[in-house]
Structure 1
Amino acid sequence: MANQKQAMLYGLATVLLWSTVATAFKLSLQELAPVQMLVVACASSVLVMGLILVLQRRWHLVFSLSGRQYAQSFGMGLINPCLYYFVLFGAFDRLPAQEAQPLNYTWALVLAYLSVPFLGQRLRKLDIVAGLVCYAGVVVIATRGAVTSLSLSDPFGVFLAIGSTVIWASYWIIATRDQRDPVVGLFLNFLFGLPVIVLICGMTEGFGFASGTSLAAAVYVGVFEMGIAFVLWSYAMKKAENTSKVSNLIFISPFLSLVFIHFILGEQILSSTYIGLVLIMAGLWLQQKKVREREEALIGDV
């Protein structure tokens, strides 16, 4: 039980950090282009994850991989952070935070669907129902409640937000075959991805970074969303005796995020956002229902 309590505390800390990042995204993008923000955030993440590995006395693991695994680090780095965060930041640059953030949460459903052809998992009826409920919420948010007209608030912004879920889910499917230590793997992905991001930034927006709040927010994203939150969540999963209880904490994050979005960014939260978010969370809850039941049955057998 002590481990489970620790897991819940780590999980709650992670959820709190995740709840702030949508606000940090928008603050950073007020004066930085998405690729500039990505340079700062990725560099900050590399530094903080390197420091974590040193403090944990696991730095030597960075140099213990095979040539194939270093090549894998470069390939996965092109997906995350390069492609994923560039698309995600592009979505937040175009959409209000209250719209981009809930749409991004549908990645868990996309992961379930992509697992069918790529991991050989079975598509259940409940997955289909969950998808209908979830994407009904997407339509409500994307149309700002004008469902019958199907007039999207920003079609390309919505496309980027949904596209980011496909990229993120694809990344985790590839990661199922990753034999590297999770923190070492993420550190190397970001380390190898950073020069590519710097090159693209230099060829497009340049390095005239605005100082002040936007720069600080980009550093915050790199340190906490890309770095510390990942480590805390890894600890939560490792210590959990019942991972379902810890995983359920993520349902708090999008609603808590709206509080920060309203009071810090000053966005007036639309009723369509609340309705759509409830539908999305309900769909994700349904999608996870069988997983929870199976885990509880295994615990009961033990």
Structure 2
Amino acid sequence: MASPTNTERKAIIYGLTAVLLWSTVATAFKLTLQQLSPIQMLFIASLVSTCTLIIICACNRTLPQITSTFLSNPSYFLLLGLINPLGYYLILFKAYDLLPASQAQPLNYSWAITLTLMAALFLGHKIRKKDWVACGLGYLGVLIIATKGDLFSLQFDSPLGVGLALLSTLLWAGYWILNARNKANPIIVVLLGFVVSLPFSGALVWYEGFEWQEVTGRGWLAVIYVGLFEMGITFVAWLTALKNTKNTSRISNLIFLSPFISLMLLAKIIGETIYISTIIGLIFILLGLAIQQIKLGDK
């Protein structure tokens, strides 16, 4: 039996692994979108992730749970799959297609603040004073990033891209709201989402038309990377970290490292210009998230 110290060390290793991998996906998104449309990217990445999660479940001997879990509430799992990955990633990839990744990624980080508001609306959770402060800071950060610091002009490079990035936060938060009382194995639930969504994303690819020969080796490697490390392996690493820790906040706080690492990679690999306004806006968003985690009773 592992000692508590070893268990916590294991949790931190898995948590850091997940955060470092998630830090790379914004770059992978942009590399993939140079050769694939958002619909094509969604289908291939989903296919890769489905195969990956099936292998993981087979290794964990949980594969037999798939059928029984789905049949326990088919309409519920169908709805989850249509929200995530189908709707969420299709909209998120389109936002990345329209915006610089250095803008789309920080905007997407505001989903945790969106979750607070939706949990109050749909689950009856109390919104504390610090939650209102966090929401104010978070959405001020969103506005700073979207306007490149020119708050009063309200001019956006791509209003549709900004709108889609924010819409993705609603879908992601909504997915977790629907999942809040689900007691099924979380990896099985994610796998079911991909299995359910694949026929729909496949139909969209067929409707759009897809010339396979136009994708280079670099494009295939990028989209496979997205399927493995945005949707598959990294999620399992994060769940493993949370399972092995007795201090969830300490593991959750690791996620604050991700956006800054991601911006550095985008500047280095993609060559994107990182505006000072993006850094300032991101700091406001992360400050809001940090305030939510401070333990000050219910105030």
Structure 2 length as normaliser, TM-score? 0.94
CA drift at 1:68: 3.7
Residue equivalent to 2:73: 69
144-153 vs 26-35, which deviates more? 144-153
What is the distance in 1 between the residues matched to 2:113 and 2:294?
12
Contact residue 70 and residue 77 of structure 2 kept, 8 A: no
Decide which of 180, 183, 199 is 1:179's aligned counterpart: 183
What is the distance in 2 between the residues matched to 1:272 and 1:229?
29
Decide which of 139, 152, 157 is 2:156's aligned counterpart: 152
Decide which of 227, 235, 256 is 1:251's aligned counterpart: 256
Q: In the alignment, is residue 7 of structure 1 matched against residue 11 of structure 2? A: yes
- Aligned-residue Cα RMSD (Å) equals 1.5
- 1:25-79 Cα shifts (integer Å, max 9, x gaps): 0000001000000011000000000000111122122233362433322221111
What is the distance in 2 between the residues matched to 1:83 and 1:233?
22
Moved over 4 A (4+): none
Residue equivalent to 1:29: 33
Look up the equivalent residue of 2:246 and give its one-letter code.
E
Could you list the runs of 5+ residues in structure 1 that have no partner in the other structure?
295-302
Residue equivalent to 1:60: 64
What is the distance in 2 between the residues matched to 1:288 and 1:159?
27
Q: In the alignment, is residue 221 of structure 1 matched against residue 226 of structure 2? A: yes
Decide which of 269, 272, 276 is 2:274's aligned counterpart: 269
- 1:166-204 Cα shifts (integer Å, max 9, x gaps): 000000000012232111111111011001000011112
Decide which of 157, 162, 166 is 2:166's aligned counterpart: 162
Number of residues of Structure 1 aligned to a counterpart in Structure 2: 293
Decide which of 282, 285, 290 is 1:280's aligned counterpart: 285
Structure 1 length as normaliser, TM-score? 0.94
Q: In the alignment, is residue 84 of structure 1 matched against residue 98 of structure 2? A: no
SS at 1:146's partner residue?
coil
234-243 vs 198-207, which deviates more? 198-207
Identity %: 45
